[in-house]
Amino acid sequence: MTVIFGSSGMGKSRVCALLNQQALLQRRLFSDRPVPVAIYLPDVAVTPGGIRQFAFARIAAHCPHFKSSIFDEMLRTSGLDLFCDAFDRVQSGGRETLERDMRLLLRDSPATRLTIFSRQSAAPQIDADVFFLQPLNRSQQDALEEAVWPASETSTSGPRRMPIMSLLLPDFLRRLAGSPLVFARLVLFYAKHQKLPTDLAELFDFWLGETLRRREHKPTAYSMLVDAATVIALETWDGAAKASAIMKALATQAIPSASLDTLVELGTVIESDGRFEVEHEALADFLRAQSIVHRPGWNPTTDIPANRLDSDAFFPVLLAALTTDLEQQRTLLTRLTVLGFDGYLNAVRFRGNAFRQLAHHASGAIESHFAREMVDSFMATASRFFPHLLPDLIGTSTGSRSTNLQARVEMPPKRTTVGFALYCDDAPPDQNDTLIGGREDFGSQGREIGLYVLQRALGQLIERSCLTGGPVWHQERLLGRLRVLLIAGTGIETSLDFRKQRQYWNQYKGEIFVCSLFNRHYEIAVDDMLADLDVLEGAGGTEAAVWWNPDNGNSWWLRDWDESDEALRQYIMRIDAAYAEVVASNFTEVAGTLSTNLVLPRAWDVYFQPRHDGRRNWVTAIWHPVERCADVNVKVFRGPAPKELTRFDSAWFDETTAKLRSLNRRFHTIAYHSGAVPSFSGRAPTGRHDGKTAVLREVCQRLQTELLDQLRAVTGIPSED
């Protein structure tokens, strides 16, 4: 059994149909192959007899003399090849029955193969190989553009037209261009208008117009078709509906029943076994979102059932794109945090332009709106996705730990710059502490700037290691902070014995040690040192280990790597262990978006090449997914990695992919590590001495890349170093 996941617009139904066509071709060529059957699962769920009887009926419809005895023999010998589409469209109450039916079929017919297509949010609870439809890459986009570009727009006498769409797309559209369905519409929009859509609503309105052939209808007729398509989209939210149900819904809205026939003729609505629905679920979501937004005084809190907010569907993002009322948009975006980190950021990115309501207001009203948008964006995101860090994030931004945040904003009439200062419950500061400028109008960018403030604060917390974790993380943090203070000559306790360290730091509770090291200012809170000791002693430890060089001599803080295999093994293992501890303690709400976290736990094969011929120490680290943390191990080999492991076409990529799928782990990218051995002496790659252990530095860099890049994709502003 195979399950293939894809979000709305990724072409699940198209891939299902293509696989079925290929299987039919193979069956014609080789008679011993299983008979392929295309199955629309919502139809199966409402048909007596289950999937077995449904498959029999599909075959018998094409073979009049096909008998049940032949079918039973087929199941016993060669089996069937069932391509099952739209599991996510089956109503939740019928999924369990369908899953049980599938298990029984596979038990009775081991030779039968099931390929199921669904959104991940409605995953079948069955043991299966799992695959994910990947977004289009650059070459695939170019090929699709050539395929769908209208022939009428292509010159037959001039030079061959080169694909350009992937180069023209702005950041906000590039995110959607991975969907074949959406990218094809972007190409057609550009071919017709010679420009890109300004927002998501314009693109989907164009798509609807092309589907309904707007130019062939009078305005009143076209409006009626849109209304009819909207009624059908709402009626089929939970699956295709019978003609009688659709006709009744149309009559309720005083729309002629013949509109259904017209929509079927246009291809906007499709029919399967007497049931009808809008052809593309993404377009149906647009119609549903549009119908809700057009209701007078609609309430984002009460008018949208929670089960409609699916991060794999277009509906929530389209709802944000169509909402242009300020108050409704604020309420809606706060509610859309239930979509998860990635889904919520998409809603912010594609939200409608509510600023038009204020564009001609006095500067004071615009500044007040901007400040409210900033604070709302910061607080909604931080409180939902980083709740344990909220006081620290506000403290980093204002200088005072709190759970409240306010903003003071100044903006010139042209709004090409914005200055602001953040504060808590006290009086606003007299002057701004941040100024951002550019060529664009910042008036509508309050939410982006709020996310930038969060991005900056989160980056500083990670850079300063101001996060909680487990024994590995806190030992690395303790060693790094002690090393900074010792190299700066502060005269603190040098022993790594926890009892002696606690005795020393207890004298300075509540104080902050300040030092300068190579022109860099450091502030280390004594309470943080004691927090490290609390965790380490609570885990049963008595002394910190200088694992990268266990020499018993003095001045442990000056030691570099001893170039031993054991130290290298500890380095690799401790990175993953510390990373997992920090994610579990601070980032549980976004853990599913962090690429490293998705593939843990894992074992390693590390190939170490000592320095020679002027080349630095070099490490190539190949990882392998394992089922349990107890299976984690690191093997160190002296010498270069085998070439068959490091080639672009290495079998390692396929083997690792297969293993991750067998463990039901979703992943973003697969890559091995190859590079110079990091510094173990407390120096960053730039040569600056920051005291961090090699493990601490790698974990911080990994978190910054995986977390901040997601925010940066929305804000468009790089983080400060």
% the chain with pLDDT above 90: 57
CA distances 251 to 42, 241, 247, 257, 580, Å, are 25, 15, 6, 7, 57
Residue 529 has pLDDT above 60, yes or no: yes
- Name the nearest CA neighbour of 569 among 615, 616, 603, 598: 603
Tell me, what's the pLDDT at 521? 87
Each residue of 595-607: pLDDT tens digit?
Answer: 999 999 999 999 9
For residues 23 and 33, the answer to whether their CB atoms sit within 8 Å is yes
Residue 388 has pLDDT above 80, yes or no: yes
The DSSP letter of residue 642 is P
The DSSP letter of residue 358 is T
- Name the nearest CA neighbour of 221 among 270, 271, 262: 262
Gap between the Cα atoms of 556 and 558, Å rounded? 5
Burial group, residue 99, by CB count within 10 angstroms (0-12, 13-18, 19+): middle
Residue 172 has pLDDT above 80, yes or no: no
Least confident of 13-22, 161-170, 237-246, 371-380: 161-170
DSSP string over 528-568: HHHHHHHHHHHTT--B---TT----SS-GGG------HHHH
Here the tokens at position 76 are 């016993």
pLDDT band at 360 (very low <50, low <70, confident <90, very high): low
Q: What are phi and psi of 421, to 5 degrees?
A: -140, 140
Tell me, what's the pLDDT at 328? 93
Each residue of 684-717: pLDDT tens digit?
Answer: 777 777 788 999 999 999 999 999 988 998 888 7
List the Cα angle 485/487/492 in 5-degree steps. Answer: 40
Mean pLDDT value of segment 450-455: 94
Tell me, what's the pLDDT at 159? 58
For residues 481 and 544, the answer to whether their CB atoms sit within 8 Å is no
For residues 490 and 513, the answer to whether their CB atoms sit within 8 Å is yes
pLDDT band at 323 (very low <50, low <70, confident <90, very high): very high
Mean pLDDT value of segment 335-354: 92
The DSSP letter of residue 615 is B
- Name the nearest CA neighbour of 145 among 174, 177, 172: 177
Each residue of 453-469: pLDDT tens digit?
Answer: 999 999 999 999 999 99
- Name the nearest CA neighbour of 442 among 374, 396, 490: 374
Tell me, what's the pLDDT at 152? 60
Each residue of 557-615: pLDDT tens digit?
Answer: 988 899 999 999 999 999 999 999 999 999 999 999 999 999 999 999 999 998 876 67
Percent of the chain as helix, strand, coil, to the nearest 5: 55, 15, 35
Strand 269-272, strand 80-85: pairing? unpaired
For residues 278 and 287, the answer to whether their CB atoms sit within 8 Å is yes
Here the tokens at position 525 are 């809170």
Q: What are phi and psi of 83, to 5 degrees?
A: -105, 105
Gap between the Cα atoms of 649 and 644, Å rounded? 8
Burial group, residue 294, by CB count within 10 angstroms (0-12, 13-18, 19+): exposed
Mean pLDDT value of segment 606-631: 89
Each residue of 72-128: pLDDT tens digit?
Answer: 999 999 999 999 998 988 887 788 999 999 999 999 999 999 999 998 888 888 888
Residue 624 has pLDDT above 70, yes or no: yes
CA distances 680 to 102, 677, 709, Å, are 55, 9, 27
Burial group, residue 156, by CB count within 10 angstroms (0-12, 13-18, 19+): exposed
For residues 277 and 269, the answer to whether their CB atoms sit within 8 Å is yes
Each residue of 484-513: pLDDT tens digit?
Answer: 999 988 999 999 999 999 999 999 999 999
Residue 299 has pLDDT above 70, yes or no: yes
- Name the nearest CA neighbour of 680 among 672, 667, 689: 689
Residue 459 neighbours by CB distance under 10 Å: 22
Helix 219-235 vs helix 281-293: angle between axes, to the nearest 10 degrees? 100
The DSSP letter of residue 126 is S
* One-letter amino acid of 515: C
HEC secondary structure over 74-92: HHHCCCEEEEEECHHHCCH
Here the tokens at position 276 are 């009808």
DSSP string over 397-460: HHSS--S--EEEEE--TT-SEEEEEEESSSPPPSS-SEEEE-SS-GGG-HHHHHHHHHHHHHHH
Tell me, what's the pLDDT at 153? 62
Gap between the Cα atoms of 323 and 318, Å rounded? 9
Strand 434-437, strand 602-609: pairing? unpaired
Which domains are assigned to the chain? 2-132 (3.40.50), 206-292 (1.10.10), 362-463 (no CATH)
pLDDT band at 160 (very low <50, low <70, confident <90, very high): low
pLDDT band at 259 (very low <50, low <70, confident <90, very high): very high
Here the tokens at position 345 are 């950021």
HEC secondary structure over 664-694: CCCCCCCCCEEEECCCCCCECCCCCECCCCH
Mean pLDDT value of segment 310-319: 91
pLDDT band at 719 (very low <50, low <70, confident <90, very high): low
Each residue of 408-418: pLDDT tens digit?
Answer: 888 887 777 88
Size of the chain, expressed as the number of residues it contains: 721
Residue 480 has pLDDT above 80, yes or no: yes
For residues 620 and 559, the answer to whether their CB atoms sit within 8 Å is no
Mean pLDDT value of segment 44-65: 88
Residue 158 has pLDDT above 60, yes or no: no
Give the mean pLDDT of the chain.
89
Gap between the Cα atoms of 66 and 59, Å rounded? 8
Gap between the Cα atoms of 13 and 237, Å rounded? 17
- Name the nearest CA neighbour of 43 among 228, 358, 380, 276: 276
Say which residue the tokens 């100024």 belong to. 435
Residue 60 has pLDDT above 60, yes or no: yes
Each residue of 127-147: pLDDT tens digit?
Answer: 888 888 888 888 999 999 998
Alpha helices in 587-641 (DSSP H): 595-599
CA distances 644 to 247, 524, 638, 653, Å, are 63, 48, 17, 11
- The pTM is what? 0.85
